Structure 1
Amino acid sequence: MTPELLLAFVLFAFVTSVTPGPNNMMLLASGVNFGVRRSVPHMLGISLGFMVLVVAVGLGLGQLFETYPPLYTVLRYAGAAYLLYLAWKIANAGAPNGGEARGKPFSFLQAVAFQWVNPKAWIMAIGAITTYTPQENFLVNVVLIAALFALVNCPSVGLWTMAGSLLRHWLDNPRVLRLFNIGMALLLVASLYPVLSDL
């Protein structure tokens, strides 16, 4: 992998990781409702789960969808349904008891599993493998791309959690927090627009 291609990939990884999407909307809401410390497993689960997804796509999982297009359609429906469920959970979160939100943040394993139904994650993984992974020493390059993506991804998604945490003191009022959570849920649903318009 040339230095130019590596630099281009790191820029791609940063831009796709830091821009709004389902993971970042959920982390912003998690930062507000639970704070940074309690959201760390969620952040790590996103980065490591996405790394595993990139490796799986590089090892041929993406080809499976090309061979069996109905499988991809099933994944898209399942992912969209799960995102709508998560949006409902975020909209119904609140802070009635001393600022502690009802429910609990995503666990590490929940965040890892979520990457497999996250449409943006699939687009990012397929883009990374098809655009930035040279064919020579392909397996080594797949592992390198996946590891670099995880290294760039974790602090990028962490910015959203920190932003949410900084908003916590402005959202002490349960009504304001409820409106914020509803707004985050609507943004999460809006992030599904490209997927839902194709279904």
Structure 2
Amino acid sequence: MDFSALTAFALFVIVMTGTPGPGNLTFMAIGASAGYGAAFPVIVASQLGSIVLNVCVAFGLGKIMAESGAVAVIFKGLSFAYMSYLAWRLVRLNVTPKGATSLPGFWEGVLIHPLSPKTWAMSLSAYATFFSGSAWSLPTNAAVMTAGFVLGGSVFHSLWALAGVSVLKLIGEGPLLRFITSVMAIAMLAVTAWALFL
């Protein structure tokens, strides 16, 4: 892979990890509800899940997903169920008294990317476009692709969480914040449904 291909991959990562999706909307909602400090451990956990997903795609799991209708149907069901659960958690976080509902935790963060249709689409597209014809070894391809997505994800998940913190500082706690974070949770679920079923 030459410099121009790496540059194109870097731009792809920036666009894909910077745009709205289940992960970014989740971190924005957590940032708005509880601040960046609460979002950071979940961001770290999500990147561990991203590493597992990208390595699996590079080593052929994506091909199995694409060729097996049954596996794809199971994934869609699990993905929508998990994102529905996560949306419900985020809404409950803002409609119950402060402290009555716990924030999404480590394992919930780990599962965000492996069960996100946007992340699967990004990983599969990146591998097919930038790495499948590369002269590099399979482990090198997997390492470079994974590192790119972890770097992009860490930066942009943090920026989305900080945007949520800005919303919290701007409007304070109260009905408007609860409304905004609930809208973000619903938008996250809508993005998931659109990616899976349309």
TM-score for the superposition, normalised by structure 2: 0.90
The farther-off stretch of 182-191 and 86-95 is 86-95
2:116 equivalent in structure 1: 118
The farther-off stretch of 2-11 and 84-93 is 84-93
Kept in 2, the 8 Å contact 1:96–1:174? The answer is no
Q: SS state of the match for residue 105, structure 1?
A: coil
Deviation at 1:9, TM superposition (A): 0.4
1:163 equivalent in structure 2: 163
1:37 equivalent in structure 2: 37
Percent identical: 27
Q: 1:88 to 1:146 in 2, by over 3 A?
A: same
Kept in 1, the 8 Å contact 2:32–2:164? The answer is yes
Kept in 2, the 8 Å contact 1:87–1:185? The answer is yes
Taking the aligned partners of 1:173 and 1:41, their CA distance within structure 2 comes to 22
Q: SS state of the match for residue 104, structure 2?
A: coil
Query: Runs of 4 or more off by more than 6 Å in structure 1?
Result: none
1:154 equivalent in structure 2: 154
Kept in 2, the 8 Å contact 1:76–1:195? The answer is no
Q: 1:158 to 1:173 in 2, by over 3 A?
A: closer
2:107 equivalent in structure 1: 109
Deviation at 1:76, TM superposition (A): 0.7
Runs of at least 5 residues in structure 2 that lack an aligned partner in the other structure = none
Taking the aligned partners of 2:7 and 2:119, their CA distance within structure 1 comes to 21
The farther-off stretch of 44-53 and 102-111 is 102-111
TM-score for the superposition, normalised by structure 1: 0.90
Q: SS state of the match for residue 134, structure 2?
A: coil
Kept in 1, the 8 Å contact 2:79–2:117? The answer is yes
Taking the aligned partners of 1:48 and 1:179, their CA distance within structure 2 comes to 31
RMSD across aligned C-alpha pairs, in angstroms?
Answer: 1.9
Taking the aligned partners of 1:59 and 1:25, their CA distance within structure 2 comes to 29
Runs of at least 5 residues in structure 1 that lack an aligned partner in the other structure = none
Kept in 1, the 8 Å contact 2:116–2:192? The answer is no
Taking the aligned partners of 2:160 and 2:100, their CA distance within structure 1 comes to 20
Taking the aligned partners of 1:75 and 1:197, their CA distance within structure 2 comes to 12
Deviations 1:104-141, CA, capped at 9 Å, x for gaps: 33323321122221111111111111111143223212
Kept in 2, the 8 Å contact 1:5–1:132? The answer is yes
Deviation at 1:89, TM superposition (A): 2.0
The correspondence for 2:129, drawn from 111, 124, 131, is 131
Q: SS state of the match for residue 93, structure 2?
A: coil
Deviation at 1:10, TM superposition (A): 0.7
1:179 equivalent in structure 2: 179
Question: Superposition pairs for residues 10-89 of structure 1, below 5 Å?
Answer: 10-89=10-89
Amino acid at match of 1:149: F
Kept in 1, the 8 Å contact 2:55–2:142? The answer is yes
Taking the aligned partners of 1:96 and 1:88, their CA distance within structure 2 comes to 12
Deviations 1:91-116, CA, capped at 9 Å, x for gaps: 2222776xx45423332332112222
Taking the aligned partners of 2:101 and 2:176, their CA distance within structure 1 comes to 18
